[in-house]
Structure 1
Amino acid sequence: MVLIMNRLVVLLLAGIMLVSAVSAEKQIVIGAIIDESGDTTSYAPGIETAINLAASDLNDYYKKVNKTTTVVIKKESSDGTSESAAKAAENLVSEGAQIIVGPTTSEELSGCLPILSREKILSINPSSSIKLAIPGDQVIRLCPGDLSLVNAIASYNTVITGTIPQKTVVVSRGDLYGLDLSEKVKSITQVSDTVIYSPRTRDFTSTLEKLNSSVSSLIDTYGEKNVCVFAISIDEISDLLAQASAYPNLRKIQWSGMDGVALNPTILKNDTAAQFAYDTHLATISFNVAQPEDSNYWKVYDKIQATTDGHQPCIYEILPYDEVVMAARILENNASTLEDTLKIVDILGNNMYGATGWLKLDKNGDREHGDYYFYLPQKGADGTIKWVPCFAYLDGLNTTIPLIRVNNTLLEKTLAA
């Protein structure tokens, strides 16, 4: 009887162990830093949608292939500053995050670097400042570095040669993103003056007085057709443009904008800013890809449009989908050291095709290749202003082409909207 009972106990324990082994799930914990009150707040709903969609797709996949793995997302908000992003990173580490997706800007990322280094965990993000292109660090950036962006602008300038204003005044936010790019612009155009403003500025009276003074002086010397303003801004661009509309000389000239201006929804939500952008032919540039219509790019794009206010999503809202998927693929491999993790990242980068295309990385952990699109605000038949891609810089060919009579899903989907 005792022998029988012992056997029953052994069988029961074995059964418990078997059930535990079968039911034990591996949790992949991914942290996300989202700016919900700073100068990239307009991206926040789209970013969150992309992150949630990626986690849902991954969990559906694991279930389909009978893997007892679950992706768990932990989210922390920032206000766009390096300090708030650092605090968000600290909180995510304490919540068990194994990799962090985000933050969006180089300024925020700079605040996270000490935490990433101390904890030896990765951040996969879309920042692009050249100053943060560091080999072997904990940062993987799924956007090409700013040198690629500058090369794209230079190529575009050769295509529209003869129509480029002779003199440019740069107006830029005074953070890592703005200060770095404002210097790079000098290598591709004749910059006569640079006007810097503080991030989070909303009253641009002082900035516009300086800008108007520089522009007016240049108009007197070179004529209005030979003067341009180049804006390096993010969400604050709508306030800048709306307030600039009160200055006649600023309305006379052409404006251009960097990637933080391209497709920025705050402009089109502000009627005065949208009209000013249209009147000044505000040409903007952004990294982007023209993916096939049945690709995950458009799945994410359509989901963002459906769950937010219906604006045209920009690449910085779509990239978090790839960031989450790459994070999960890295953590599936259970690397024990940073060196091994970076080896896995390199292998994944060489072989992974995401929603935004091939994710091949360079020696700095930045996306190696990527096309750029040039957008102009145009009016539809109903008078509504929207962003329309007009030129594309093809990285593989190092050339810029006009989007006229070409098959391009980005252009076709925009015109069909």
Structure 2
Amino acid sequence: MKRFVTLLLIGLLVVAAGCIGSSSSGSSSSVQSGSSSSSGQQVKVIKLGALLDLSGPIASDGKKIQNALKLAQEDINAYFQKKGEPFKVEILFEDTRTDPKVALEKLQTLDAQGVKVIIGPTSSGELKNMKSYVNAHKLIVISEASTAPPKFIGFAKPEDKKYVFRFVPTDFFQSKAIAAELKSKGIKGVVILYRGDAWGKGLHDATVEKIKGSIEIAEDISYPSNPEPTDWSPYISKAEQGVESLLSKYSPDQVAVWVVGFDEIATLLSQVSDDSPLLKVKWFGSDGDVLSDKIVEEAGDKASKVVLYSTQFFAQSEEGKKFVQRYREKFGIEPSEYALIAYDAAWVGALAEAEVLKEKGSFDADLVAQKIKEILPKYSSGELGVSSVTGNIELDEWNDRASGDYAIWGIVNGKWKLLGLWKSSTGRIEWSS
């Protein structure tokens, strides 16, 4: 009997030790791979990277995009959990300051952390500096805001750009909208100031091609992008000469300044003197400055005087309208269109990587690129149980969004206001009453 009790105690101790060991092992596995899903599978963490400007010339937009991506992370994880899928998304944010050199360094940082799908960068200059590394290391990039035509970021043929997707149309479309704006407002003469990087030059060249012969260009001024000017007086002086020459031929409502830049336009405007001829005419901008908080805060009165008509890609589904309302309620500000595009990009990137992990068990850039194209029509239509917030996303042969309309914003009484919409289907602007 004593021997039986002893054996029984030993057996119980062995079982207990086994349970403890099993619990410890499961805990260790959970730290590395995540918790178990409802199906009992270990949850795999999909790390997405986000290359955003959080402290540079377009930080006001970068922070709006970051907000949208935080919502995307919540929503994607809720989706995976509801579907019983063994995945969890984690978005890692890196601040590029819109500096091409920093963008490459931050891309390398993300790659070293095992991130293979990246949302961003925001500017084309950054993308141009990253493309060789992206191709060499087979990473997937989905930019929400790079708009320079492929040749301006160094891509000679579509095959060279197979890992780089842009869910926004190129400036081939935006230049049409800007040209239509100028003509619709009866502009006969213009002075141009533009940022001399890949994005600025790309948009400049595309637009000049569409207005030359119909609108006189008195001055065509390029300024450096890295670093941007701190003293704008040489550029202001040259622009003033151009406007004065145009005012000798045309009325003030027939003359304009077109500026292609980012938040630095705030500094430029603030340095324009109150009696400058530059403030006697309307200004036009682009997607680089639209909804900039800095311009309103630092140059609100002057900006209101010149309006700064600015274009931004616009595509918003019914789901998108709900998202905008939710965004406003949570963050107390209006999201930019690029914030909405980034939200869609995170969804498509996460779903594509999850599909590849299910099929192959490991990351494969070529297969992810293929899955993105397969998932896009399903995601756009709502077939997957979730809908695009920017409507139908179709890509051209360069993996860029194939078309789109453009909203026209302006600064009225110190606030950005939606003033019109350029429709790609008609090539015309519908101005708000």
- With the length of structure 2 as denominator, give the TM-score of the two structures: 0.81
Shift of 1:402: 2.7
Q: Tell me the equivalent position of 2:257.
A: 229
Taking the aligned partners of 2:260 and 2:175, their CA distance within structure 1 comes to 13
Q: Tell me the equivalent position of 1:192.
A: 218
Taking the aligned partners of 2:334 and 2:22, their CA distance within structure 1 comes to 53
2:158 alignment partner AA? P
Taking the aligned partners of 2:88 and 2:253, their CA distance within structure 1 comes to 58
Cα gap change, 1:71/1:337 in structure 2, threshold over 3 Å: closer, same or farther? closer
Taking the aligned partners of 2:180 and 2:253, their CA distance within structure 1 comes to 21
Shift of 1:241: 1.5
Shift of 1:290: 4.0
Q: How does 1:124-143 map to 2 (within 5 A)?
A: 124-125=142-143, 126-130=145-149, 131-132=152-153, 135-136=158-159, 137=161, 138-143=163-168
Percent identity between matched residues is 25
Is the 1:195–1:207 contact (alpha carbons within 8 Å) kept by the matching residues of 2?
A: yes
Taking the aligned partners of 1:369 and 1:185, their CA distance within structure 2 comes to 17
Shift of 1:102: 0.8
The 10-residue stretch of structure 1 (223-232 or 21-30) with the greater mean CA deviation from structure 2? 21-30
Is the 1:245–1:276 contact (alpha carbons within 8 Å) kept by the matching residues of 2?
A: no
Taking the aligned partners of 2:236 and 2:373, their CA distance within structure 1 comes to 46
Taking the aligned partners of 2:53 and 2:412, their CA distance within structure 1 comes to 29
Q: How does 1:172-211 map to 2 (within 5 A)?
A: 172-189=194-211, 190=215, 191-199=217-225, 200-211=228-239
Q: How does 1:156-305 map to 2 (within 5 A)?
A: 156-157=181-182, 160=184, 163-189=185-211, 190=215, 191-199=217-225, 200-270=228-298, 273-292=299-318, 295-300=319-324, 302-303=326-327
| RMSD (Å) for aligned C-alpha atoms | 2.7
Match of 2:77 among 59, 70, 84: 59
Cα gap change, 1:154/1:219 in structure 2, threshold over 3 Å: closer, same or farther? closer
Cα gap change, 1:35/1:63 in structure 2, threshold over 3 Å: closer, same or farther? same
Tell me the number of residue pairs that the alignment of Structure 1 and Structure 2 aligns.
383
Check if 1:394 corresponds to 2:423.
Answer: yes
1:224 alignment partner AA? P
1:195 alignment partner AA? I
Taking the aligned partners of 1:389 and 1:60, their CA distance within structure 2 comes to 33
Cα gap change, 1:397/1:165 in structure 2, threshold over 3 Å: closer, same or farther? closer
Deviation string, structure 1 residues 35-54 (Cα, Å, up to 9, x no partner): 12221111232121111110
Deviation string, structure 1 residues 265-301 (Cα, Å, up to 9, x no partner): 212212xx22212212321111112433xx2454256
The structure with the greater share of residues assigned to strand is: 1
Q: Equivalent residue of 1:215, what SS? A: helix
Shift of 1:263: 1.6
The 10-residue stretch of structure 1 (336-345 or 118-127) with the greater mean CA deviation from structure 2? 336-345
1:89 alignment partner AA? L
Taking the aligned partners of 1:91 and 1:311, their CA distance within structure 2 comes to 31
1:63 alignment partner AA? Q
Check if 1:358 corresponds to 2:392.
Answer: yes
Shift of 1:70: 0.5
1:84 alignment partner AA? V
2:344 alignment partner AA? D
Q: How does 1:265-414 map to 2 (within 5 A)?
A: 265-270=293-298, 273-292=299-318, 295-300=319-324, 302-303=326-327, 306-307=330-331, 310-334=332-356, 337-353=364-380, 354-379=388-413, 385-404=414-433
Taking the aligned partners of 1:43 and 1:338, their CA distance within structure 2 comes to 29
Taking the aligned partners of 2:174 and 2:406, their CA distance within structure 1 comes to 7
Is the 2:219–2:238 contact (alpha carbons within 8 Å) kept by the matching residues of 1?
A: no
Is the 1:300–1:321 contact (alpha carbons within 8 Å) kept by the matching residues of 2?
A: no
2:52 alignment partner AA? I
Match of 1:144 among 169, 172, 197: 169
Shift of 1:239: 1.2
Is the 1:265–1:312 contact (alpha carbons within 8 Å) kept by the matching residues of 2?
A: no
Unmatched runs of 5 consecutive residues or more in structure 2: 1-10, 30-35, 381-387
Cα gap change, 1:102/1:287 in structure 2, threshold over 3 Å: closer, same or farther? same
Taking the aligned partners of 2:58 and 2:374, their CA distance within structure 1 comes to 32
Cα gap change, 1:222/1:401 in structure 2, threshold over 3 Å: closer, same or farther? closer
Highest Rg: 1 or 2?
2
Q: Tell me the equivalent position of 2:384.
A: none
Taking the aligned partners of 1:297 and 1:95, their CA distance within structure 2 comes to 35
Deviation string, structure 1 residues 194-231 (Cα, Å, up to 9, x no partner): 11212232321121111112212222233433321001
Shift of 1:144: 0.5
